[in-house]
Structure 1
Amino acid sequence: MKKIVLLIISALLISGCATTPEANSEFSAADLNFAEEMIPHHEQAVLMSDIALTNSTSDEVLALARDIKAAQAPEIEQMSAWEGVRPSTHMGHMMDGMLSDEQIQELRDSEGATFDRLFLEGMIAHHEGAIKMAQKVTTSANKEVAALAAAIIKAQEKEIAFMKELIKFY
């Protein structure tokens, strides 16, 4: 009886200490840094998309703006919910691809084809910056982080290709 109890306790201790990548809920410092930088980065993309929904007259740009908001708003919520993520203290415009306050104001002040060209140029650079950030955590031990990074890269590479074709018309 004593041996059975010891075996059960040993099994429980071993299984309690072992974590599979799928069950991993721990976030490394790199994972948290990624989220803390990507959240304001995504927030700016959502802001740019909101401006596009007001200032663009292009059906393609309007659809792209809606798609960006639909993809990135839930990702912001997802990353914000990760244990250990703190509100960013980073100067947002210092991150790869972030637009300056002046560039955001220029978007707000533009309309029509001029707006569309500025939006596409800015969003291409913005997406390229997000891809660089996401590439740093594609091999994270946390499968949620790695999967999100891979999804960001895949979606934004596709959108960049689309925007590079679309910008030829402006």
Structure 2
Amino acid sequence: MRKKLFLGALAVASAVVLGACGGNDSMSGMDGDHNADDVTFAQQMIPHHSQALDMAKLVPSRSTDPKVVDLAGRIEKAQDPEIKQMQGWLTTWGASMPGMSHESMPGMMPAEDMTTLEGSKGAEFDKRWLDMMIKHHQGAVDMAETELSKGSNPEAKALARKIIDAQQAEITEMQGLLRS
């Protein structure tokens, strides 16, 4: 009896492993039709969006430009629900959040840059914040483009498209604010 249970468990484990080795094919029937690229997208975009929220929360007490304050508020309103959505996917997919270096993701700001930003005020803060957020948003766009090309989950791909559209528009807006 024990041998049959062991062999049955081994067969199930083998099927799971082989199913996971299917490259970019979706893992149909396994935790919500996704692939490893969908998981990576969510695992990386959550801390990426979290840093954008940290940056946005600095604005009201440091900026002197109402347009920058408004933009930061819109970034918070958009990205906080997206974080919750991606956390839900990871739970559904049985994936966890690995510990990873912020600098390993496109557009993430090193701790020293965040410290310098936190110590700034007024026009100096606004310029630094806009410069950093443009780079940060471009990193998110790059990550979302990877999801569109390699991911398989329709919801994740739809969010990637939404991120690209919104953040490219905000990049354009921020470039305009820097010029004015």
Instruction: Using structure 2 for the length normalisation, give the TM-score.
Output: 0.78
| CA–CA separation in structure 1 for the residues paired with 2:129 and 2:79 | 17
Pick from 12, 28, 33 the counterpart of residue 26 of structure 1. Answer: 33
Percent identity over the alignment? 40
- Matched residue, 1:158: 169
Deviates more, 1:135-144 or 1:52-61: 135-144
How far off is 1:162 after superposition? Answer: 0.3
Change (3 A) 1:85 1:69: farther
Contact 1:38 1:130 survives alignment (8 Å)? yes
Aligned 8 A contact 1:97 1:129 in 2: yes
Shift of 1:39: 0.3
SS at match of 2:148: coil
Offset of residue 137 of structure 1: 1.3
Structure 1 Cα separation of the partners of residues 171 and 148 of structure 2: 19
AA aligned opposite 2:129: F
Q: Which residue type is aligned with residue 133 of structure 1?
A: M
The DSSP-based 3-state class of the residue aligned with 1:99 is: coil
Q: Give the counterpart of 2:49 among 31, 42, 50.
A: 42
- Check if 1:138 corresponds to 2:148: yes
> 2:19 is matched with which residue?
none
Q: How does 1:102-117 map to 2 (within 5 A)?
A: 102-117=112-127
Kept in 2: contact 1:40–1:88 (CA 8 A): no
Query: Which of these two proteins has the greater Rg computed from alpha carbons?
Result: 1
The residue aligned with 1:92 is 102
Instruction: Give the match for residue 59 of structure 2.
Output: 52
Aligned CA-pair RMSD: 1.7
Instruction: Give structure 1 stretches of 5+ with no counterpart.
Output: 1-20
Whole-Å separation in 2 of the counterparts to 1:144 and 1:60:
32
Amino acid across the alignment from 2:136: H
User: Once the two structures are superposed, what CA deviation does each residue of 1:16-61 show, in whole Å capped at 9, x if it has no partner?
Assistant: xxxxx9xx92221000001000000000000000011221111000
Structure 2: any 5+ residue segments left out of the alignment?
1-27
Contact 1:138 1:149 in 2 (8 A): yes
2:139 is the counterpart of 1:129:
yes
Q: Which moved more, 1:108-117 or 1:51-60?
A: 51-60
Distance, in Å, in 2 between the alignment partners of 1:123 and 1:144 is 25
Task: Find the counterpart in structure 2 of residue 70 from structure 1.
Answer: 77
Number of equivalent positions? 148
The letter of the residue matching 1:34 is F
Take 1:93 and 1:141, find their aligned partners in 2: how far apart are those partners?
26
